[in-house]
Structure formats: C-alpha cells, structure tokens
Amino acid sequence: MSSFNSIINNFLKRNLNKDTIIRLIFFLIPVVSIVLKGIIFQGFASNKNPYALDFFNGYQAADPFINYYIAFSLVFFSFSFLFKGTGRIIYTFTMDLFLTLLILTDIWYFRGFLTVPSALILTQTANLDNMSGSILSMTSNLDFIFLLDFILLAIYVFIARKSFSKNHGRAIKTFLCTSILPILFIIYVPISINVFNNKDVHNAYLFSNYDKSNTAKYFSPVGYHIIDCYTVYRDSKPYKLTDQDKADIKELFETKKEDLPNNEYFGIEKGKNLIYIQVESLESFVIGKKINGKEITPNLNKLIQTSLYFPNTFEQVNEGTSSDADLMVNTSMLPLRQGSTFFRYPNTNYNSLPNLLEKEGYSTTAIHPDKGSFWNYANGLIGIGFDKFSDYYSFNVDEQIGLGISDQRYFEQVVPMLKQQKSPFYSETVTLSSHGPFDIPEKYRELGLDPELNASKLGGYFESVHYTDKQIGHFIDLLTKEGLLENSLIVIMGDHTGVHKYYDDTIGQLSHKEDWYLNTGNPTVPFIIYDPSSKQGKTFDKMYNGQIDVMPTLLYLLGVEKDKYENSALGRNLLNTNKSFAVITNGTLKGGENLTDKEKEIYKKSLEISDKMIRANYAHNVS
C-alpha cells in the first residue's frame, strides 16, 4: 500500500509540479470561458428580445448538451499543447479571440436575422455588400461580457509570468488526451448512424439538422460552425449535368408539352391579390365529411361549393416535409431526394411564382408562424424570390397551441400585415395548430366525439382540423371586413397528409371503424382555389395531380403566358390538360391511364431530374 502511495506521489511530483498546475489553469480558463460564452449566446438567443440577457434561460437551454460544449472547446484549445514557451500563450489568446469573435458575430447576426449565420453566406456574395454594416448595428452594451476573460487571462499571465518564462516544451501526450477523447465523443453518434447504420443511437436527433439555431443550441455556436462548414463543403460543388441528364431534361419537357388552345380559365383572375394558405397536415378525406352529425370542415366545405377544387392532389413532399410544400407551390419543382432542399440548396435560383408575379407588378411576402431558422425558411423563401419574409418574431404569441402561435391569433395578426402590402400582392401564409401529435386541448374541441375516439389520434386530428377550419372561416370574415377579399383569390392546400402519415396504425386499433377514414393508399391533400366573386364551383374529382401542379395552374388563372414557365416548371396547368397523374415521392405514378408506358417512365424519372436540376442550379442558366 505504501509503495502504491509512493508511486502516486512520485508521479504527481514529477508531473504535477507548481508550474504544470499553473499552465493547466491557463489552459482551463479559456476552455471554460468559451463554454460560458456558448451559454451566454443561448441566454440572448433564447430570449424573445435577443438584446437582453437571461443567463439562467441560456443555461437551461444548453445544460442537456453541455458535454458537447465542453468537447468542442477542449478540442480547439488542446492544440496549445503543441506549442512551447510563449508560443502557447500566443496560441491560446489568438484562439480565444477567434472563437469569441465567432460567437459575437453569431449573436449580432442572430439579432438581425433571427438565425445563426452559415458559411453559405460567404458564397452569396451579393448579400455580403451591406451585411457587415447591418450586423455591426446589432450590438448590445452587454456584449462586453464576451471580453471579460481576456482581462482575467492577461492578469493571470502577468502574475504567473515566472512559470511561463521557464522554458517548457511541447506536451504531446496532454494534447492527445485533450483532443482525441472529445473528438471520439463528438463523432460517436454520426459514426454510429452513417458507418454502422445504427439509426436508433441515443441522441441521433441532434444530428438531423432542420433548424440551425437548434444545432447551435446542441453543439454550442462553435460546434455548430464545424458542422455547418462540413455540410456547406459537402454541398459546395454544384452538380454538373451530364449530357445524358441534359437529354433527360429535354425529353421530360417535350413529353410534358401539351399545345392546347387557351380556354375560359386563362387570365380570369388577372391582377387579383393572391393569398395562399398552406394548412398543416390537412388531408382530403375529411372534406365534406360529418362525424357525430357535425361537419369536420364546415368552412372549407362552404368555400368549395363555389371554388375550383382538386381533391386528388397527391402529397409530394420528401424529407423537408412542410418546407418541401413551400418549395413545390412556389417553384413547381420536386424536392431533393435526400435531406431538406431549403437547407442544402438555399441559394438555388428558380423561375418561381414570386419571381414571375413580381414581373407582373406584384409585391410578394411569405408570412410564417415558425422561426425563420426552422427548416431554414428564412433563407429558403428569400432564395426562392419572396421580397419579404416575416416569421415568429413578427407576432405577439399570446396564445399558443402545440408548436406555436394559435391559428386564430396568427390570422388575426396576418390581416393588418396584408393591409399594409402594396397591391397587387402575393402572400403565402401557413397554419400550425393542426400539427401532430394532434392533442389539441379540450377547450378547443367542439365535435363532441365519443370518449374512445376523442382520446385517439384520429379524434385529435378531427378536432385539430375542425379548429383550423374555423380559423380559416374567421380569417376570411376579417378579410371581408377589411375590404381585402373582394379583390383577392384565396388558395388553400394541405402541406402534406397528417393522421395517415404519422399515426396510421392507431386508426386500425379503434374498436369502431368507418370506411371513409381508413387508409386508401392514396396520400392526398385538398387544393382549393376560391374566388369570392364566383357563383359556381367545380370539383375535379377525376383529376389526379400533385403539389407541383399548383404553380402553373395559378399562373394560368392570373394570366401569365405559359412560355414564361413551361420550360422550367415540372408541374402542369390543371385547367388546360388532358393528363391526369402524379408522381409521388416513393417513385410510383398515380393515375396516368391515358399515358403510354414510355411516358410513364419519363415522368417517373422527374424525381431524379428535379433533384439534379436543383443541385445544378438549372434555372439560373436558363433564365
């Protein structure tokens, strides 16, 4: 025992002399400071007002992920052990300064753009011009906190200068320990997922990036930048279309072309404001249906009577779910085969609905209840061509349901925003309250469902959709009151299916089942075009179509000539076509009875073709 003690003592004496301890503390001060700065960043960013600091809030946000904060900080400062003498001091100060400036830039950028900056910005040179000036105006008096550790570090070096002046060498073993262990910790989850295909690994969700601000919360701003640089690098080289790709694109557009003479729909809505409502998780099967003697969607049912209605609009979203719907409606392109299009290629150019309408004199704005960082909406929608993007921060979230602001309060605050807009305008609006898990609180439930159904996902879904339908009715009333409705065209579509997409199994478990709500294998959402002045409606129940067909259809009604988009839009104008089909995300073609086998093959390829066109920035070259 005593010999063991003496071994330990000797070891400590040899390795942990006073100078070593002093140098270790010198290493730990910036490591801890950068961790704290990550927490302070959260303390600003998690505040409704990001100029005010709530450290406790920041700590709560960062706490579950603090090991990542420590790991990233350790890795950066571990390299100081490769330096000897004053080199180590210089490295430590420089690295601390670099990381601090990075975090400061993040918080300044966040105050202006409500998300963290990506290295992608460096590729958007057009935006860089006035960016630096506007970012610098986003400072707060409290930002001096980020510099305090430099004073501490300087005082420390001054007091302990003797220990530093003693010549000390490189500490390779310490470097290896302080770098390799944290690196192993950081890469454990992505390696398990990508190399060992273990998708169930604990914390896998941290690496499925659908919100950059969340990535900065999980990994600290420093870790976020490493992950961001990797993804930007991965997607940095635009795809180069091969001759075969070019031939495929040509073949698809030629097959698509239908030279039909214009009909009575062309231009009948010319000059009208376009108000698009993208409804969360709204499926077609609830339309016109009653449960317990009550209509689930009485307001939509009423609108449909005088609308152009496409009940068989197949969902075509992929991994970007909601955001893929935004993409398709506005660009008539199918989303990428892998990952979220808005995240991976926010800089792609499109011959888009907002761009085409701007040429017709429209002002355009996308108004989201979500944060702009969610699905990278801010960059994605501005990239698509909207003049203006408003998000969560433009709203007073005084009533919350599920993910965010209630549809009622959202619409009530959208109306004045629309009023301010220069006419004619195109505005995209998005509802949120009918998002899964469909457990809308009792006080909003009005259908009086039996207890089993009420407690089920399906019952929750009916109630959520019923609530949202009511708010759409309320929105239209408000638009009427404000005089906005008479000169507007209202378009409504479900972003993707809901209860069948996420909770299909729970429907089978119900003791009483009705045919109409069982899964038909056809994932469809309603697409409704409502002109308030129209006296007569039409339901296109024989038509099979997809979400990419919305844009050409609306452009036709708004009187935009088809030669302006027929060589870039993958969808077709549903009001002047002899074709009835949709290619869905899993590669199958729905409908298409009058298509030849060859045509079917060509259309099925459109999923791959769209992917390549987006990655190759195809529209940039043709427009």
Query: In three state form, how does the secondary structure of 258-278 look?
Result: CCCCCCCCCCCCCCCEEEEEE
- The answer, yes or no, to whether the previous bond of 437 is cis (omega within 30 of 0) is yes
Report what 430 binds from ligand GP9, Mn ion, none; CB cut-off 5-8 Å by kind.
ligand GP9
CA angle 470, 327, 397 (to 5 degrees): 45
Query: Of 36 and 366, which CB lies nearer to ligand GP9 in the complex structure?
Result: 366
Binds ligand GP9 (CB under 6 A): choice among 44, 285, 350, 374: 374
Report what 80 binds from ligand GP9, Mn ion, none; CB cut-off 5-8 Å by kind.
none
Report what 374 binds from Mn ion, ligand GP9, none; CB cut-off 5-8 Å by kind.
ligand GP9
Comparing CA positions, the residue from 45, 48, 43 lying closest to residue 109 is 45
Residue 321 binding ligand GP9, by CB under 6 A: yes
Torsion sign over Cα 440, 441, 446, 448: positive
Query: Of 272 and 435, which CB lies nearer to Mn ion in the complex structure?
Result: 435
d(CA 570, CA 582): 11
- Strand 388-390 and strand 538-539: pairing? unpaired
Query: Of 78 and 322, which CB lies nearer to Mn ion in the complex structure?
Result: 322
Binds ligand GP9 (CB under 6 A): choice among 53, 116, 381, 430: 430
Is residue 3 part of the annotated active site? The answer reads no
Which residues are within 8 A (CB) of 95 and not within 5 positions of it... i.e. 6 or more apart? 30, 76, 77, 79, 80
- The residue annotated as part of the active site, out of 220, 281, 322, 352, is 322
Stretches 165-173, 220-228, 430-438, 464-472: which one binds ligand GP9 (CB under 6 A)?
A: 430-438
- For the bound state, the minimum distance from the C-beta of residue 513 to ligand GP9, rounded and expressed in Å, comes to 26
Query: Of 269 and 495, which CB lies nearer to Mn ion in the complex structure?
Result: 495
Residue with tokens 């050409």: 552
Residues lying near Mn ion in the complex (CB under 5 A): 280, 322, 495
Comparing CA positions, the residue from 572, 568, 566 lying closest to residue 619 is 568
Mask for 433-452, x = binds ligand GP9 (CB under 6 A)? --x-----------------
Residues 239-258 binding ligand GP9 (CB under 6 A) are none
d(CA 418, CA 427): 8
- For the bound state, the minimum distance from the C-beta of residue 315 to ligand GP9, rounded and expressed in Å, comes to 11
d(CA 91, CA 29): 14
Residue 322 binding ligand GP9, by CB under 6 A: yes
Comparing CA positions, the residue from 120, 618, 610, 125 lying closest to residue 349 is 618
Report what 255 binds from Mn ion, ligand GP9, none; CB cut-off 5-8 Å by kind.
none
Q: How many residues bind to ligand GP9 according to rule CB under 6 A?
A: 8
- For the bound state, the minimum distance from the C-beta of residue 323 to ligand GP9, rounded and expressed in Å, comes to 6
Comparing CA positions, the residue from 456, 513, 467, 468 lying closest to residue 495 is 468
Query: Of 213 and 322, which CB lies nearer to Mn ion in the complex structure?
Result: 322
Which residues are within 8 A (CB) of 296 and not within 5 positions of it... i.e. 6 or more apart? 286, 289, 290, 447, 462, 465, 466, 469
- Written as six digits, the tokens of 149 are 């550790």
Query: Of 70 and 334, which CB lies nearer to ligand GP9 in the complex structure?
Result: 334
Binds ligand GP9 (CB under 6 A): choice among 211, 248, 370, 469: 370
d(CA 343, CA 327): 12
Report what 432 binds from Mn ion, ligand GP9, none; CB cut-off 5-8 Å by kind.
ligand GP9
Residue with tokens 């960059």: 379
Stretches 59-67, 429-437, 565-573, 583-591: which one binds ligand GP9 (CB under 6 A)?
A: 429-437
Query: In three state form, how does the secondary structure of 73-125 look?
Result: HHHHHHHHHHCCCHHHHHHHHHHHHHHHHHHHHHHHHHHHHCCCCCHHHHHCH
Annotated binding residue at 496? yes
Query: Of 33 and 433, which CB lies nearer to ligand GP9 in the complex structure?
Result: 433
Annotated binding residue at 495? yes
Residue with tokens 């990550």: 38
Annotated binding residue at 500? no
- For the bound state, the minimum distance from the C-beta of residue 393 to ligand GP9, rounded and expressed in Å, comes to 15
Report what 370 binds from Mn ion, ligand GP9, none; CB cut-off 5-8 Å by kind.
ligand GP9
- For the bound state, the minimum distance from the C-beta of residue 430 to Mn ion, rounded and expressed in Å, comes to 8
Helix-strand-coil split of the chain, %, nearest 5: 55, 10, 35
Which residues are within 8 A (CB) of 231 and not within 5 positions of it... i.e. 6 or more apart? 209, 343, 344
Comparing CA positions, the residue from 347, 68, 392 lying closest to residue 221 is 68
- For the bound state, the minimum distance from the C-beta of residue 351 to Mn ion, rounded and expressed in Å, comes to 25
- For the bound state, the minimum distance from the C-beta of residue 258 to Mn ion, rounded and expressed in Å, comes to 32
Query: In three state form, how does the secondary structure of 481-543 look?
Result: HCCCCCCEEEEEEECCCCHHHHCHHHHHCCCCCCHHHCCCCCCEEEEEEECCCCCCCEECCCC
Q: For 165, how many CA atoms within 13 A lie in the half-sphere containing its CB?
A: 5
Report what 106 binds from Mn ion, ligand GP9, none; CB cut-off 5-8 Å by kind.
none
Report what 111 binds from Mn ion, ligand GP9, none; CB cut-off 5-8 Å by kind.
none
- For the bound state, the minimum distance from the C-beta of residue 545 to Mn ion, rounded and expressed in Å, comes to 20
Torsion sign over Cα 166, 170, 174, 175: positive
d(CA 363, CA 376): 22
- For the bound state, the minimum distance from the C-beta of residue 357 to ligand GP9, rounded and expressed in Å, comes to 22
Helix (H) or strand (E) holding 441: none
Mask for 263-282, x = binds ligand GP9 (CB under 6 A)? -----------------x--
Binds ligand GP9 (CB under 6 A): choice among 153, 414, 432, 489: 432
Stretches 34-42, 114-122, 340-348, 428-436: which one binds ligand GP9 (CB under 6 A)?
A: 428-436
Report what 81 binds from Mn ion, ligand GP9, none; CB cut-off 5-8 Å by kind.
none
Query: Of 280 and 412, which CB lies nearer to Mn ion in the complex structure?
Result: 280
Query: Of 435 and 500, which CB lies nearer to ligand GP9 in the complex structure?
Result: 435
State the binding site for Mn(2+).
280, 495-496
State the binding site.
280, 435, 495-496
Residues with active-site annotation: 322
Binding interface with ligand GP9 (CB under 6 A) = 280, 321-322, 370, 374, 430, 432, 435
State the binding site for substrate.
435
